[in-house]
Amino acid sequence: MENTVFSEIKFWLMMLISFVLPFGLYSVLMMKRAISRQTTLMLGFALVAIAGLDVYTLQILAAAARLTPSLADDTIFVSEVSLALYLLPVMFGGIGVNIISHVVVKHLDEANERFRKEHPDE
pLDDT at 47: 92
pLDDT at 2: 54
In the chain, how many H helices and how many E strands?
A: 6, 0
**Residues 6-51 pLDDT 10s:** 767 777 888 888 888 888 888 887 888 888 999 899 999 999 999 9
Distance linking the first and last C-alpha atoms of the chain: 68
**Residues 68-99 pLDDT 10s:** 777 777 777 777 777 888 888 899 899 999 99
Reference 44, options 20, 22, 16; nearest CA is 22
User: How far is 93 from 108, CA to CA, in rounded Å?
Assistant: 22
